[in-house]
Amino acid sequence: QTTVRVSPAVLGFSAVGHSLEDIVVVPEGYSVTVMTRLGDPLTAATPAYANDGSDADFANRIGDHADALAYFGLSDAGAPDAGANGRGLMVQNHENITESYLHPNGPTTVGGARPLDEVLKEIECHGVSVAEYVDNGDRNWTYVQDSAFNRRVTPNTVMSFHGPAAGNAWLQTMYSPEGTAGRGTINNCANGVTGWHSYLTCEENFHGYFRRDSADDALRSERQLASLRRNGVTSRSGSYAWSTASSTDTRITRWNATTTSATTAATSDFRNEPFQFGWVVEIDPYDPASTPRKRTALGRFGHEGAFAQIVAGQPVGVYMGDDSRGEYLYKYVSNANFDAADTDAADRLATGDKYLDNGTLYVARFNADGTGTWLPLVFGQVPARPASGSYPEYAFESQADILINCRLAGDAVGATPMDRPEWTAGNPATGEIYLTLTNSNNSNRPVDGTNAANPRSYWGSGNPNGHIVRLREDGDTTAAMTFTWDIYLFGADTLDTDTADEQANINVSNLDLSNDFSSPDGAYFSRASAPSGQFNPLFWIETDDGAMTDVTNCMLLAAQPGTVGDGGARTINNTNPNTGATGSQATFVGASASAANLRRFLVGPTQCEITGIDMTPDGRTLFVGIQHPGERGDAANITSNWPASQTDADATARPRSAIVAITKNDGGVIGL
């Protein structure tokens, strides 16, 4: 075994170049093992996955679109043991589906209706999975098909509501006339892990799945209509047209959120079903029989992730992005200070009640002077959201109202609109919080549509490659009401240039071919492998599609991140050199990349996104999610054969989202 290098760690691998190959590429000296894939069986009785569109019973199979993941250790005897390196539970989100590959010839519609069996399959491919992983020795990782811990959480799994909005009238549905329970979770994107070893899964783009017929608008209160529109619940069909399936099965009819009539009760239909989603859900990964809990104190919006900052004696802080253009960064602060004795609490969800149901939600304002303010979303302190455009004024009626309508509340208090806030991650060595802002591909954004934390508006392409902001809480406590911040890094495609001026303005972080990237999304710090303060963990950045897929597939980079303010003042010229359109000079404080402090570690297969990431506690196995390889193909035109292509150059199989385990051939710590 190699010795862990102590402060400062260095990047100890050779950068991986751009790649358009249909495999996962890692540095020399590292190996890739494909772990759980779409469709892999989670019980002894479930048949192997045929991968030809004929498979069913996804309530007992790994779901689609491997997204965020987390590893929870198990002792050799099978007891919860967060420090265990050779056996554990892999919990993973299944955000969405690549519909075409799930059916023999792609999705079908017969007489205007989706077939019931196809729809039920697509629904069950969403949610969360728990699968046992074991290292059989010498980094030979496999999953355990018949483990008693294996579980699927799907959009049909019974869940309960907790916190201030539980029981609110807007949460009352046919499934729960009391508004205290519901079914399932959907579009689970990123995640969080608590200090008491539970899993937080985040409901992101829930809005698109619901159908609302045009007749619904006139049957809604002005308040609900404003709320539905502000959260994008405006589809007239719903994703994949699930509600067209001819059935009275509530697993189908719930996706139609159209109000039945002006005289029927809200509990007689599913008009309120959209308000049951957009939450953070806590799951006990070690108890397959437990009922997941929706934590309403953490607010409702397009939840990307939920990084939990756990420091004994401080409140639990949960940092959360809302991934849509111009949305906000939020922080939840528990009333109770974290008690280290709760680390090994036997009842993890009851511990969640203690820390996640009683606290204050804040939204971030980034000031131009490099300071920031957490604005409390507390009833009585939030003014009415003023009327704007076609929105009427919205006056809040209760704390539950604020929590259900965080976007409206964020508007009301003057939060800073951001370029799509994705993951948050905390540096365990400094306590600083990093936030990826994936991009703002907005060709219409005028140059004055910027702000200090989102300063780039390159005329004609907005902020196509994204950036990463980091913040340090004043007093280094999660309880802080103020913080300092800077811009850590701007994405750039160094090959995408037609003038030197353009290059200078796009590539403001001085990236080169060893580390250029676009659209940062996943963000993660290595698990500390040495006592706190001795080891500066590496920062990992994952990318999603973006403006670079013509030259390389999506990727994972590793960085030596530094600290807030270490880069000095820099300037971006937002003027378009091609047209001469006048732009603003934006000044920011931020770092510069170099081959020494930022390197590409991995490139994924064709048309994938690199998503989940976690390590064993010893840092010697890295797990990475490979989401939707071949997503732009279909059953008749397969565009990726991954993961079969990883080991078989002549593979012809349909692509499958999957997790890979990456180990160093000498058994060392990943990245060092």
Rule CB under 6 A: say whether 631 interacts with ligand FEO. no
Which residue is it, tokens 């976690």? 614
609 touches, from Ca ion, ligand FEO, none (C-beta below 5 to 8 Å by class): Ca ion
**CA dist 255 → 515, 549, 671 (Å):** 43, 34, 44
204 touches, from ligand FEO, Ca ion, none (C-beta below 5 to 8 Å by class): ligand FEO
Residue 201 · residue 128 · CB < 8 Å: yes
If you write DSSP's letter for every residue of 540-601 in order, what string do you get?
A: EEEE-SGGGTTT---EEEEE----TT-S-EEEEE---TTT-----EEEEEB----TTTEEEE
The span from the CA of 296 to the CA of 427, in Å, is: 26
Q: Could you tell me the smallest distance in angstroms from the CB atom of residue 325 to Ca ion?
A: 12
156 touches, from Ca ion, ligand FEO, none (C-beta below 5 to 8 Å by class): none
Rule CB under 5 A: say whether 496 interacts with Ca ion. no
Q: Could you tell me the smallest distance in angstroms from the CB atom of residue 557 to ligand FEO?
A: 17
Task: Give the range of 222-230, 279-287, 406-414, 607-615 binding Ca ion by CB under 5 A.
Answer: 607-615
Rule CB under 5 A: say whether 64 interacts with Ca ion. no
Applying CB under 6 A, the site for ligand FEO has a residue count of 7
614 touches, from Ca ion, ligand FEO, none (C-beta below 5 to 8 Å by class): none
The span from the CA of 208 to the CA of 216, in Å, is: 16
Look at strands 555-559 and 598-603 and give their pairing.
antiparallel
Q: Could you tell me the smallest distance in angstroms from the CB atom of residue 306 to Ca ion?
A: 13
If you write DSSP's letter for every residue of 349-400 in order, what string do you get?
A: HHHHHHHHSSEEEEEEEE-TTSEEEEEE--TTTSPPBPPBTTBPPB---SHH
Rule CB under 5 A: say whether 521 interacts with Ca ion. yes
493 touches, from ligand FEO, Ca ion, none (C-beta below 5 to 8 Å by class): none
Q: Could you tell me the smallest distance in angstroms from the CB atom of residue 438 to ligand FEO?
A: 7
**Closest alpha carbon to 126 in 320, 281, 348, 275:** 281
3-state secondary structure of 652: coil
| Phi, psi of 453, rounded to the nearest 5 degrees | -85, -10
The span from the CA of 649 to the CA of 23, in Å, is: 10
Residue 537 · residue 9 · CB < 8 Å: yes
Among 40, 304, 411, 432, binds ligand FEO (CB under 6 A): 304
Query: Between 132 and 521, whose beta carbon lies closer to ligand FEO?
Result: 521
Query: Between 64 and 609, whose beta carbon lies closer to Ca ion?
Result: 609
Site for Ca ion in 155-194 (CB under 5 A): 189
Q: Could you tell me the smallest distance in angstroms from the CB atom of residue 68 to Ca ion?
A: 8
Rule CB under 6 A: say whether 422 interacts with ligand FEO. yes
Task: Give the range of 111-119, 232-240, 281-289, 536-544 binding Ca ion by CB under 5 A.
Answer: 536-544
3-state secondary structure of 121: helix
The span from the CA of 239 to the CA of 258, in Å, is: 15
Rule CB under 6 A: say whether 189 interacts with ligand FEO. yes
Site for Ca ion in 188-207 (CB under 5 A): 189
Q: Could you tell me the smallest distance in angstroms from the CB atom of residue 248 to Ca ion?
A: 34
Rule CB under 6 A: say whether 545 interacts with ligand FEO. no
Query: Between 376 and 604, whose beta carbon lies closer to Ca ion?
Result: 604
Site for Ca ion in 416-445 (CB under 5 A): 438
Tokens of 498: 């037609």
Query: Between 323 and 401, whose beta carbon lies closer to ligand FEO?
Result: 323
Rule CB under 6 A: say whether 357 interacts with ligand FEO. no
Rule CB under 5 A: say whether 269 interacts with Ca ion. no
Residue 394 · residue 382 · CB < 8 Å: no
Query: Between 396 and 540, whose beta carbon lies closer to ligand FEO?
Result: 540
Query: Between 204 and 516, whose beta carbon lies closer to ligand FEO?
Result: 204
Rule CB under 6 A: say whether 64 interacts with ligand FEO. no
The span from the CA of 55 to the CA of 656, in Å, is: 13
The span from the CA of 460 to the CA of 465, in Å, is: 13
Among 64, 122, 284, 609, binds Ca ion (CB under 5 A): 609
Among 55, 323, 342, 631, binds ligand FEO (CB under 6 A): 323
Which residues touch 661 (CB under 8 Å, ≥6 apart)? 32, 33, 35, 133, 139, 141, 621, 622, 623
Tokens of 477: 């406590």
Query: Between 64 and 284, whose beta carbon lies closer to ligand FEO?
Result: 64
Applying CB under 5 A, the site for Ca ion has a residue count of 5
| Helical (H) or strand (E) element with 128 | strand 127-135
Which residues bind to Ca ion, rule: CB under 5 A? Answer: 189, 438, 521, 544, 609
Which residues bind to ligand FEO, rule: CB under 6 A? Answer: 95, 189, 204, 304, 323, 422, 521
